Structure 1
Amino acid sequence: MHMLRQYQVPLQRYMALMDLQERNERLFYKLLMDNVEELLPIVYTPTVGEACQKWGSIYRRPQGLYISLREKGRILDVLKNWPERNIQVIVVTDGERILGLGDLGCQGMGIPVGKLALYTALGGVRPSACLPVMIDVGTNNEKLLNDEFYIGLRQKRANGQEYAELMDEFMTAVKQNYGEKVLIQFEDFANHNAFELLAKYRRTHLVFNDDIQGTASVVLAGLVAALKLVGGTLAEHTFLFLGAGEAGTGIAELIALEMSRQTKAPLEETRKKIWLVDSKGLIVDSRKESLQHFKKPWAHEHEHLKGLLDAVKAIKPTVLIGSSGAGKTFTKEVIEAMTSFNEKPVIFALSNPTSQSECTAEEAYQWSKARAIFASGSPFDPVECHGQTFVPGQANNAYIFPGFGLGLVISGAIRVHDDMLLAASEALARQVTQENFDKGLIYPPFSNIRKISAHIAAEVAAKAYELGGLATRLPRPANLVKYAESCMYSPNYAATADHRELRFFYFFSPE
């Protein structure tokens, strides 16, 4: 840690950590787990975004499996080349929508690599059971196509039937090679592919889209926790989203599902409490014919409004959620409008990395006169405002997906059900203590993340057993929390007082 702290540039720390992961995997995970709050922004967002942008020029070794259009027809053979046989979790991307940075093509491999490092460090899934995959179908990023250090196919993106056939061959090969219980996590696919892939394979494979489902689950957990500060039930609040892509519609749908579960009202009714704004303005019924299919459920009766500020003033939401990927869009006027009709406005600026955040923590607290309940996608430092110190919450998917994946693994689940996402949200919300609330936090500290992940895993596994036919690991363990903890990978070294023996152990033990 002393050596890492000598680097002043976050990307240098990232490169040093990636070198350590390759050189001494156990030490890498020991370091990450013991210093998770300090190193999480390095291993993942926001630093991983810069790493992906510069992936070609910092590239040293593959770190994962690259499958390109050139392997079409022999993807199963490529998978069999991976040295590990017992794979439990695959994180796969095609690099078309990396964080809020857009199409980074093959350089998006940093996302699966980073996500799986967190699966191990935060969720306890064995490193050898994790497989990062990049589906290389080209890129439409001209800057990368002309970059001498770009490592991917130098061609425009494949799409349509050619793309669908490649993905179908990949999904079939994964199931054939690793079985039905391998979790396939879709990561950073563009909207037009993300929804289709999830809808197509969720009934035949164990699949999870972190951008749609993971983000939704972690945000719902924050909202459930925030209710203890602002009062009322979910159904008594009004939600306005800036952004109607994977994250926005995914969060909206899970909120509507939880409202429906609590009130017994039809889903069509609970959706009416939720409004979305996209690049063309408020999504309303008069726009329905021109909307993409995943936006249509959110087209309600209202006059069309072009800007976010107009929508805020008209809808008067109690909760404002940004998932647009567009920075600085929660302006002073927007925050002040929210504050004008809410005693405690709930404001989530979720877009990553930090440069794309809809507003900063300091802006949210200052412009709301220290009344906002704030959470962001990227980390922000504590803020001094109106004589108080506020610790901004981070609605980071890392709270959810490691424990969620572990729950699927320990139960031997063969499908993901929406009720599992609701269970994960409730489990996370229960981990927020009064001490956290007193600091303005609506998420627990990451220092307790392994314990949090174990509780989430237990609730997800319990739901898999309750739903019937989804859990295959029988009989069900009596205490699922303890069972989850017992299954978690630990990188601890054997303790010894003899330093000479310790050195020998480090260098020569196969363990």
Structure 2
Amino acid sequence: MESTFKDLRGGASVLDMDPKHTVGGGVEDVYGEDRATEDQLVTPWTISIASGYSLLRNPNHNKGLAFTEKERDAHYLRGLLPPVVLKQELQERKLMDNIRQYQVPLQKYMALMDLEERNERLFYKLLIDNVEELLPVVYTPTVGEACQKYGSIFKRPQGLYISLKEKGKILEVLKNWPVRTIQVIVVTDGERILGLGDLGCQGMGIPVGKLALYTALGGVRPSACLPVTIDVGTNNEQLLNDEFYIGLRQKRATGKEYADLLHEFMTAVKQNYGEKVLVQILQTIMLFDLLAKYGTTHLVFNDDIQGTAAVVLAGVVAALKLIGGTLAEHKFLFLGAGEAGTGIAELIALEMSKQTKAPLEETRKKIWLVDSKGLIVSSRKNSLQHFKQPWAHEHEPVKNLLDAVKAIKPTVLIGSSGVGQTFTKEVIEAMASFNEKPLIMALSNPTSQSECTAEEAYTWSQGRTIFASGSPFDPVECNGKIFVPGQSNNAYIFPGLGLGLVISGAIRVHDEMLLAASEALAGQVTKEYFEKGLIYPPFSNIRKISAHIAANVAAKAYELGVATRLPRPENLMKYAESCMYTPNYRNFR
């Protein structure tokens, strides 16, 4: 076989594979070609790729200066590269040195995106090995600025753009994507990007960023991930008047026109990729309706509601070790009663119900919500949106957050309002006045929209607050002590959840799976972290954390009877780890 390929000058070359992995080896892939790994995949054929100049421009297989002397001869690379041969580790060091030279986060983002377009494995190697440093660059908060300026920095399309122009042809469009086996799709319509509002077609930066994390943090192979933007227009006048805007120049379609396009997309996805493809739908004004509509027919999930809810619940459960008591003994007050706030509240109430065996209607009464009109109370019920109504409890009207804090006396204050600086000095001081250790979670992204900063929370409570935020904050010195704020980032949850769904072949997402993911994350906070006041483990351990979450989620999928990958692996933790993509270079022959 080798001599055959050497005769194909400039043609195909092959990845070096163990003979037992080929058809002639006679080893069957027990779990099928769509298992979550690439490196351990038992492949019934040999993978062919380009050679020579084309190989250096193929990001999936390019290794740059890491091609060995033997590989350079075998694949017609002589003279196309400088003579030095570098190991991947040295390439990584050089690139991290280069990235650290940039002072502007958006420049770091662009440098990383350029690297992904040149050398995919090196990009993921950097991201995995330097996750705490690079996560804020490829994800929140920098990705928000990247979306705002996406038209100006756009170089090469990443993912699929499906607009109203493709109505009636979406299945054909999906077939234009070169990879047939897709396991995870992240789709946005650009209507609600972080706390930045309607960014239309430029919201593509979010699916691209989230899928990079599915691979780096959760181990789903990059080729199995597909970012999609559904472009139905935008109501952002600034973008409509921007000469560099890359989307449809029209007002956002709504109602039947919008619903029909999305239904065609969801139908085409199932037809093209099957029952087991995970579709993560990003924030849109119709999100609750979409999850309700497709939750019974597709494997659908939203990390802004469900993922954030799971990671917040994990933080609350872990914090109980520091503040004492059981979940049901605490009282919660939310600022923000949108989809995210009510989603978090519902998952906390579900866990409380599971622990106490009390009806969900009873556990909801431990949770109060404040929206733009004040405390949600029963006298307002008829004027409330349907997802707010379960939280309308008996109480006299209260107009603002400070008065609500004083009236309800919560032990836990959670911000999901999308409005910055709303946890004022008076609010924090009030929380600290009746709690020895108040738990305060300022979840809104990006940093500018955070309800308060870590420094404000610690300073105004004399260092007694247990604090976590949606965006990262630096450690704070207060009263001679160093406090390390936790980051309640849904990136803790969705990559591991996605991996768990993939390795079990799940066909539906259930709330019990979110609780399983949450419990797995809370279980990774050790005594060492509690002593530092942390309620989340460090991101440096995220691959191990994701494997634990995946194993827990997969176990729940088997228990609920929605897993299709049979037989069930004996050790789900080991199986999850064995299925995780690794970015080390592969040898060519």
- The 1-side partners of 2:583 and 2:284 are apart by 32
Contiguous gaps of at least 5 residues in structure 1: 495-504
Q: Return the match for 2:222 from 123, 127, 130.
A: 127
Which residue of 2 is the match for residue 45 of structure 1?
140
Pick from 113, 116, 128 the counterpart of residue 33 of structure 1.
Answer: 128
Deviation at 1:492, TM superposition (A): 1.2
Per-residue CA shift, 1:9-41, capped at 9, x if unaligned?
Answer: 000000000010111000000010010000000
- Show the counterpart of 2:118: 23
Equivalent in the alignment of 1:497: none
How much has 1:239 moved relative to structure 2? 0.3
For 2:383 and 2:145, the matched residues in 1 are separated by: 35
Tell me the equivalent position of 1:499. Answer: none
Aligned to 2:264: 169
Q: Which residue of 2 aligns with 1:490?
A: 582
Q: Secondary structure at the match of 1:365?
A: helix
Q: How does 1:245-324 map to 2 (within 5 A)?
A: 245-324=338-417
* Structure 2 residue identity aligned to 1:124: G
Please point out which of 333, 336, 340 is paired with 2:433.
Answer: 340
Separation of aligned partners in 1, 2:377 and 2:199: 33
2-structure distance, mates of 1:110, 1:119: 14
Q: C-alpha distance in 1, partners of 2:283/2:356? A: 33
Q: Which residue of 1 aligns with 2:97?
A: 2
1:424 and 2:509 aligned: no
What is residue 54 of structure 1 aligned with on the other side?
A: 149
**Do structure 1's residue 480 and structure 2's residue 575 form an aligned pair?**
no
C-alpha distance in structure 2 between counterparts of 1:281 and 1:69, whole Å: 39
2:251 to 148, 152, 156: 156
For residues 338-392 of structure 1, the C-alpha deviation after alignment (integer angstroms, 9 at most, x for no partner) is: 0000000000000000000000000000001100000000000010011110110
Task: Render the CA deviation track for 1:277-336: whole Å, top value 9, x for unaligned.
Answer: 111111111111111111000011111111100100000000000000000000000000
Take 1:115 and 1:403, find their aligned partners in 2: how far apart are those partners?
Answer: 12
AA aligned opposite 1:349: A
Q: Between the two proteins, what is the percent identity of the paired residues? A: 85
The separation in 2 between residues aligned to 1:196 and 1:315, in whole angstroms, is 31
Match 1:415 to one of 486, 508, 511: 508
Cα distance in 1, alignment partners of residues 198 and 406 from structure 2: 34
Q: Which residue of 1 aligns with 2:107?
A: 12
Q: Distance in 2 between matches of 1:301 and 1:452?
A: 41
**Correspondence 1:221-240 to 2 at 5 A:** 221-240=314-333
Shift of 1:188: 2.2
May I ask how many residue pairs the two structures share in their alignment?
494
Q: Distance in 1 between matches of 2:361 and 2:165?
A: 45
Q: Secondary structure at the match of 2:362?
A: helix
SS at structure 2 position matched to 1:123: coil
**Which protein is bigger by CA-based radius of gyration?**
2
Question: Residue 141 of structure 1: which of 233, 236, 242 is its match?
Answer: 236
TM-score under structure 1 length normalisation: 0.96
The alpha-carbon deviation at position 62 of structure 1 amounts to 1.1
Q: Say which SS state the counterpart of residue 109 (structure 1) adopts.
A: helix
In the TM superposition, what whole-angstrom CA distance separates every residue of 1:247-285 from its partner, at most 9, and x where no partner exists?
A: 100000000000000001100000000000111111111
- Whether 1:111 and 2:210 are equivalent positions in the alignment is no
Secondary structure of 1:413's aligned partner: coil
Output the amino acid matched with 1:464.
A
Deviation at 1:493, TM superposition (A): 2.9
**Structure 1 residue 179: Cα displacement:** 0.1
- Counterpart selection for 2:194 from 91, 95, 99: 99
SS for the counterpart of 1:241 is strand
1:379 lines up with 2:454 in the alignment? no
- Partners of 1:245 and 1:150 lie apart in 2 by 29
1:362 aligns with 2:455: yes
Map 1:443-462; keep pairs closer than 5 Å: 443-462=536-555
Matched, 1:79 2:171: no
1:219 CA drift (Å): 0.2
SS of 1:454's equivalent in the other structure is helix
Q: Deviations over 1:67-110 (max 9, x none)?
A: 00110111000000001100000000101010011111111100
- AA at the equivalent of 1:396: N
> Which one-letter code corresponds to 1:50 in the other structure?
E
Query: Is the partner of 2:420 in helix, strand or coil?
Result: coil
CA–CA distance in 2 between the matches of 1:323 and 1:440? 22
Question: Paired residue for 1:471?
Answer: 563
Superposition deviation, residue 161 in structure 1: 0.5
Tell me how far apart the structure 2 counterparts of residues 23 and 279 of structure 1 sit (CA, whole Å): 47
The residue number in structure 2 matching 1:395 is: 488
**CA positional deviation for 1:439:** 1.1
**Distance in 2 between the 1:75 and 1:216 partners?**
32
Residue 280 of structure 2 is matched in structure 1 by: 185
Partner secondary structure for residue 217 of structure 2? helix
Deviation by residue 1:171-210 (Cα, 9 ceiling, x = unmatched): 00000000000000011223xx010000000000000011
Alignment RMSD: 0.8
Structure 1 residue runs of 4 or more that deviate by more than 6 Å after TM superposition:
none
Instruction: Give the alignment's TM-score, normalised by structure 2.
Output: 0.83
- Aligned letter for 1:465? Y
Deviations 1:137-172 (A, max 9, x none): 000011111111111001110000000000100000
Whole-angstrom distance in 2 between the partners of 1:307 and 1:467: 43
